[in-house]
Structures are given as structure tokens and as C-alpha cells.
Structure 1
Amino acid sequence: MPACWPRLAYSAALYALAPLIWRRVWREQALAHPRRARLGLIPRPSSGTPADGQTERPVTWLHCASVGEVLAARPLIEALAASRPGHRLVVTTMTATGAARVQALADKLNTAGAGAIVSHHFVPLDFPGAARRFVARLAPVQAIFFETELWPNLLAACRRRGVPVAVVNGRLSPRAFARYLKIRPLMAAALAHVDWLAAKSDDDAKRYRALGMAEANTAVVGSLKFDVSVSDEDMRRSERLHTWLGERPIWVAGSTHPGEDEQLLGAHRRLRKTHPEALLILVPRHPQRFDEVATLCETQGETSGMRVARRSRDERPGPETSVYLADTMGELSTLYGAADIAFVGGSLVPIGGHNLLEPAVLGVPVVTGPSLENFSDVAASLREAAALTEVADAAGLAVTLAALIDDPVARARLGEAGRQVVTANRGALSRTLEGLDRMLTAK
């Protein structure tokens, strides 16, 4: 059988599932991006005018799945924009929330005007024709895929047009690796089109090689997440928010999921039995759940006496408010910085956790549940430095929160230990940039 048979079978499956796939992405819409972009129908670079500075700029393409990956890739986006001032940096996402984060960052970088022009497109669905059309119209000089975004037809389209491909911050959790092993021929064919893999850790590199990634094209550079930084303005926003919320114990539960919000509200009810003035800032992961979580908070509040304020409505939490629902986008770092303790969600349910370093870089004590597969390397670094507090369930979380609220010395120690872990592990960004630049030079 021909070597491309796994991709042919994969493409046939995509066509068979097309109605379901299209229905799934239909809601992921942004007004500035028509849905035909999902079929690779983006404007050709030549359709720009000389005034917009896009007609003769080489294109660097970076793909991130959603908002979490965009936030993790922010140091890389900023560094590429600064180091390639003559380029157009196109960042693609699958989700509308990711698109919003890219656009906000692009507006900031383009206003500064010192680097590449940054813009956003939705990534096309991975149908062969859509992938070929997208790559042909975008015509990138380099394609960079973030973490585990391995789309076989897009990778093949890049190889067909001679576009060098890198996978950066490459990670494969044990769970993802087990899934990919079931379709190893397809993954091996896809990875054959990857010119350079910048893996987060030795374990990630080994898993990629087990799927077919060439060892000669693999480097372990560390996690880009450690290269996160916080500006003075970010810190000032957090300080202003903390003052606005008042002098009371504050804990944030960030990036929460269905089945987890209920547990967190239960932990907060237990906490308030001993610390009735405590305030929970609840930050759901996905905006489409904001109203659902608000209803949950209000329903539970009717029986427990917990009152809720919504940030999207500019409702100020008063002394009688026990839950502040942060139903806005792009403010998680500010909210973490305003808290005494941070619980990172996606960890009391089997999601695999979220970025533990977002509160750690701010010097805020980090608490997490047991599900940490997606951030096992980061968790190991924090754990080794005694900078991570892990709980098994909501009851354990309530006990831990109460203990930390009563022990400011322990909170300060945990926060400083986390900050030092971030500082000590920086460097992946510079190693990644060096590898990407070598690829361009060798082209």
C-alpha cells in the first residue's frame, strides 16, 4: 500500500464526519473572520494594499489551539514580533476565545509599531483541500505548531510547498500518548513532515520519538511557560483590584470546568464556617459557561446564604458577598495577582490541569487538585521546591485554604518559592528562537 495510506484513511474519516465537525466549529465564530476561512478561504497576501505594509512581507505562521495555548505562547509571539520586524506574524487558533486573545495581543504589539505586523486567522479544518488552499494563500516562510497541534493534512501541505515546519513547546501527556499510539502510522506520517521538534522535557521527546519523530530533528529546550513575565502595569492592576475588593481573605479558582465548580463552591461553604468573611473569585475556563455557572452560584446561594456578584455587570462585591464570578475574558492574571491564594482548575476533574505558573510568577501560593497530567513537568519542578500544595478533593481544599489563611508566613514562603522556580527555569524561549532562526537560515 502507498506510504500515504494512513492520511488517506484519516481524510476519508474526516469527510464522513464533516456534518458533525462543521456543527462543532459553527459556534466558534468571530465577526472579523467569516466562516469560509475554515475552508482555507483566506485573503491572498497580494490582496493587501501597499499602505497596510503586508504585500511584500514574508509570513511567519504560528498555530495555537485555544486561549490557554495563546497565553502560554505569548512570550514567543512577542519575541518573534520583535526579532522579525520585516515579517507578518500570523497566529491561528481553532477557537473564538483564542482569537480574542490573539487580537488583543496583536492590537498591543501593532500599536507599539516596532516589530512584525501581527494578525489572526482561524486555522482551517484539516480537510486536504482546505489545508492546501490555506497554506498556498498564506505562503508562510515558516510554520510553527505549538505543543500538540499535529494536523496531518496541514503538515503535508507545508511539505508540499517546501515550508519548513517546527513543533515548539512540544508536549505529549501519557494520556495523549496512549491515544496517539492507537493511530501510530498516521502520526508517524505526520511527524515525517516536521523539520524540528523543540520538546519540553526528555519524557516528551521520548514519546514523540516513539510515535515516529526523527531523533536527529529533536531537541529538548525546556518549557516556554517558564519564560512568562509580569509587567509593572499588570502588578498595579492587581493591586488596585485587591484594594477595591477590600481587606478580607481572597482566593481565586481559575480555569474551572463542569463538575469542578460544584466542588469549589462546596469547599467555599466549608471555609466560610470558620472564615465567614472569605471571598471566592470563581473564573470558569470557557465563556459559553458563564451564565450556567452564574445560575449554579445563585442556586447554591439560595440554600447556603452565599451571595454572588458578577464582574461582567460591574457588580462590586460587598461585605455580604461571598462569591465573585469573574465572567470576563483576559483577566485571569490580574485576578490571580489580587488574591491571597490561587487554586488552578482542571485538576479536581480529569482534565489534566492548567498552567500552574500563572499564579506562581506573581508570588501567589499555588494549590491544585490531583489531575495534573498536562503539566506534570511544571508540577514536578514546583513540588521539588516545596512550592505546590496538592489536595485530593473539595474537603481537603477547604482545610488547606483555612490553614493558609491563618498562616501568612506559610503563604509568603510558598509564594516566594514558586516565583523562584519560574526564575530558575527560564531559558527555553532563547533556545527556541535560536532553533527557529537556524531553520530559516538553512532554508
Structure 2
Amino acid sequence: MRFVYTLIFYCAVPFILLRLLWRAIAAPAYAKRWSERFAFFAPLAAEKKVVWLHTVSVGEFIAALPLIRQLQMRDDLQLVVTTTTPTGSERVHASLGESVFHVYAPYDLPDVLARFIQRVKPSVLLIMETELWPNTIAACKKNNIPALLINGRMSEKSARGYEKFSGLTRPMLQSLTKALVQNKVDAARFNRIGLPAINTEVTGSIKFDLTISDDLRARAAELKREWSQDEKYVLWIAASTHQGEDEIILDAFSQLKQKSVSNLRLILVPRHPERFNSVANLCVNRGHVLARRSEKTFAHNTEIILGDTMGELLLMFGASDIAFVGGSLVPNGGHNFIEPAAWALPLLSGPHVFNFAEVAKLLTEAGALQLVPSSSELATAVKFLAEDERERQKRGNSALQVANENRGALAKSIGIIEQFL
């Protein structure tokens, strides 16, 4: 069955290249460094044990950063960090510089993987969250390289998708050395689709182990003072929005203006940088006064601030009063609630949160998160919070309490990883 999969993948190579070209039209960075994706790069010269850590994009890398910092404290380790997306690559360079070896992840093809392993010589592979590929796991097993899934999650939708290809996924999961999974529900789904229970550990989510530095708090306070004009405005951030959501959010914002909620300023942060310009045009075409974070200045009559920079979402959460987390008004599955919770913000989301179902449940039960399915309900929820500071503080404190009570996954994960180093 794996042979069939490999044959299909090789036949698809021309389509992969076409897809890269297509993506490069919207995001030119995809047109660069293609050779790395086929494992053509200068071999790593390392005398230390090599830990290969794969993070798909920005979200997974940011979640993995505390883990990376912990591993870097060991003098006997050399870290290799791979990403799939250019934005993820940019975050690696910006956050870690030359302290790690970074290239794009190899395509899941046997000869590409053999070349990658030969040039990197990893002692262990750590995979963040869900990025599992059959040939990658098989290549690790063949070369006696332990492969560990870190911060693993498995939505019901994803589990059903994996079940359709059980001939591939079941052998892959059976070859996985260990899966460190966020909660019991996700662990049960992994076991259902083929991961042996003996290789499953429930560790919690390392995203709860977020640390906000004093420097970041000071920068956020200064940014909030500037954007709120010394608390003249309540700042509502709509973060990690996807195509189709921005219109709904702007509809809600317009309804709020019609309801005379004049002291509200919207911070709109699209998930993908290739959408920055189109979302900016959408705001302007709807008649809003727009400022762009990248330009560092805005007029006093600014209505919307576009978060069009990378790596600043945590900072912008810290400058806000109310947080809406995107990917949830459209069926994308939602995004990370823990960052705004760590800032003690009241939380809003659309109903599609299947990628973060357990965290959403904890926050909802604590009274910190409200799910809103439409622009009108979103407008009503924001209006209520904008006009009631005490309620904002109450819900925000509940969110922070959930975040604090669920810390500890990072230490558990490090303890298990060290068994394979």
C-alpha cells in the first residue's frame, strides 16, 4: 500500500510544482528555495546529537518555541527546525537566527527523505500537532530514528478523513514511536484510527505554558495607550481571520456604528499575509478610515487598524480589550484561544472550533468564551462587552484562570522527549 502511495505521489510531482507556482502568485516567497523541499542543501556539520523538529507554519512554530528554548539549554544538542510555509520560515529566522539549522521540510518521497536524513543525520524527530506523513515515519523507522508527535491533536473531522485511508494511516501510526496528545478525547481518536494505546501519552497542550515577558507587557501597554488614545477607545481585536470572515466582522462593526457604539476601534488581523492588501481594500471600499500597523502611524479618526505584520499577534492581543478568534465563522476549525486568555481578555468566536474543541469547552464552561454564529450576534456580544468594563474584567479573569490551571504540558513533554535523547 505504501508503494501505491509513493507511486501516486511521484506522478503528482508536476502538479506539486504547479501548485507552488500558483501559490507564488499570491505569496512570492513560495517561488524561492525550491531545492530545499527536495533536500538539496549543504549538509549539516554537527558533532552533537541532532534533534529534527518540524513545525508546519507560524502557529505551530510559536507553540513550539518554548520547547525549542528548553532544548537549546542542553549543550549536547543541535536543533534542526523545518517548516512548510515561508511565513513559518520567516518566524524561525526572526526568533532563532543562526542558533538552529533551518530549511524547508522535505517532501514525503523516499529518495527525498533519504537525502534529507543523510544530510542532517537526526537522532530523533519531533512533529508538532498533526503533520504526519507515511513515508517520513517509515524512513525514520527504517533508520532507527524515534519519531514523536508533540502536542498532538485530532479532531473528529480529521479522524474520519484518516479512516478513509486506513491502509496508509494505520501502518503509519503503528510505526510512530510515541504520541504526546493534548487530551483524552483526542487520544481516543488517535487510538481508534490505529495508534497503539501503549504509545500514547496525554500531556495537555504546551500552548498553555505561554510566558509573557515584562518587556512584552511594557510594549503592549504602550501600544494600547497609543491605539486607544489614552483609553478613549475600547480596542476589539479580530485575530487570525480567514477569507469569508472579514466581511462578517465588518458587517458587525458597521452594525455597532449604527447602534452608536462610537468608542470602539477594530484591530483586524488576517491569518495569511497574502490577504493583507485585499482585506485593506475591503475596509476602505466599505468607507472605513484605515491605518496599517506596518506603517506605524494612524490618524485620530482611524476606525480600523489592519494588523499587517508578522510575529506581532501576541503583542496586539496585549494591546486589546476584547478578542475574537477567527477561523471559526467559516468551517476552518478555529485557532488558538490560549494567547488572548493569557492576556486575561474576554473571548468571542464563531461556532466552528473543532480544532480546539476541548480548550473551547473549558473556556466556555468557565464563562470566558462566547460563541456567536452571525454578524448580528457578534455585534450584540461586542456591544455588551464594550459598554461593560466590569464584565470584560470578569470574563478575562476567568480566561486567565483556565490558562493558568492547565499549565504543565511543556515539562511533561520535555521529560518524555529526554528519554529518547
For the criterion TM > 0.5, the same-fold answer is yes
Compute the displacement of 1:86 (Å). Answer: 2.3
* Distance in 2, Cα, partners of 1:393 & 1:132: 49
Compute the displacement of 1:34 (Å). Answer: 2.5
- Tell me what 1:417 maps to: 398
- Tell me what 2:81 maps to: 91
Of 6-15 and 327-336, more deviation after overlay is shown by 6-15
Identity of aligned residues (%): 40
Q: Is residue 217 from structure 1 mapped to residue 216 from structure 2 by the alignment?
A: no
Aligned residues: 413
User: Partner of 2:175: helix, strand, or coil?
Assistant: coil
Q: Is residue 283 from structure 1 mapped to residue 269 from structure 2 by the alignment?
A: yes
- Tell me what 1:3 maps to: none
AA aligned to 2:183 is: S
Which runs of 5 or more structure 1 residues have no equivalent in the other structure?
Answer: 1-5, 47-54, 111-116
TM-score, normalised via structure 2 length:
0.95
- Tell me what 1:197 maps to: 179
- Tell me what 2:285 maps to: 299
- Tell me what 2:247 maps to: 262
* Distance in 2, Cα, partners of 1:164 & 1:155: 9
Contact 1:103 1:119 (C-alpha < 8 Å) held by counterparts: no
Q: Give a deviation string over 1:288-338, Cα, whole Å, max 9, x none.
A: 11111111111111xxxx21111222331x332111111111111111111
Q: What is the 5 A alignment of 1:19-34?
A: 19-26=14-21, 27=24, 34=33
User: Partner of 2:107: helix, strand, or coil?
Assistant: coil
Q: Give a deviation string over 1:91-150, Cα, whole Å, max 9, x none.
A: 11100001111112213xx6xxxxxx3232100111221111112211111100111110
Q: Is residue 13 from structure 1 mapped to residue 12 from structure 2 by the alignment?
A: no
Compute the displacement of 1:22 (Å). Answer: 2.0
Which runs of 5 or more structure 2 residues have no equivalent in the other structure?
Answer: none
- Tell me what 1:104 maps to: 94
Of 190-199 and 354-363, more deviation after overlay is shown by 190-199
- Tell me what 1:429 maps to: 410
Compute the displacement of 1:189 (Å). Answer: 1.6
* Distance in 1, Cα, partners of 2:141 & 2:42: 21
- Tell me what 1:68 maps to: 59
Q: Is residue 163 from structure 1 mapped to residue 145 from structure 2 by the alignment?
A: yes
Compute the displacement of 1:423 (Å). Answer: 0.7
Tell me: CA distance 1:391–1:175, structure 2 relative to 1, closer, same or farther (3 Å): same
Q: What is the 5 A alignment of 1:182-193?
A: 182-193=164-175
* Distance in 1, Cα, partners of 2:32 & 2:211: 30
Once superposed, which parts of structure 1, at least 4 consecutive aligned residues long, lie more than 4 Å away? 28-33
Q: What is the 5 A alignment of 1:117-266?
A: 117-245=99-227, 246=229, 247=231, 248-266=233-251
Contact 1:29 1:96 (C-alpha < 8 Å) held by counterparts: no
* Distance in 2, Cα, partners of 1:348 & 1:72: 23
Q: Give a deviation string over 1:389-429, Cα, whole Å, max 9, x none.
A: 22121110101111001111110011111111111001111
Compute the displacement of 1:276 (Å). Answer: 2.0
User: Partner of 1:321: helix, strand, or coil?
Assistant: coil
Q: Give a deviation string over 1:213-258, Cα, whole Å, max 9, x none.
A: 1111111111111111111111111111111111211100000000
* Distance in 2, Cα, partners of 1:70 & 1:277: 36
TM-score, normalised via structure 1 length:
0.90
Q: Is residue 324 from structure 1 mapped to residue 309 from structure 2 by the alignment?
A: no
User: Partner of 2:255: helix, strand, or coil?
Assistant: helix
* Distance in 2, Cα, partners of 1:404 & 1:18: 51
User: Partner of 1:45: helix, strand, or coil?
Assistant: coil
- Tell me what 2:346 maps to: 365
Tell me: CA distance 1:312–1:180, structure 2 relative to 1, closer, same or farther (3 Å): same
Alpha-carbon RMSD across the aligned residues, in angstroms, is 1.6
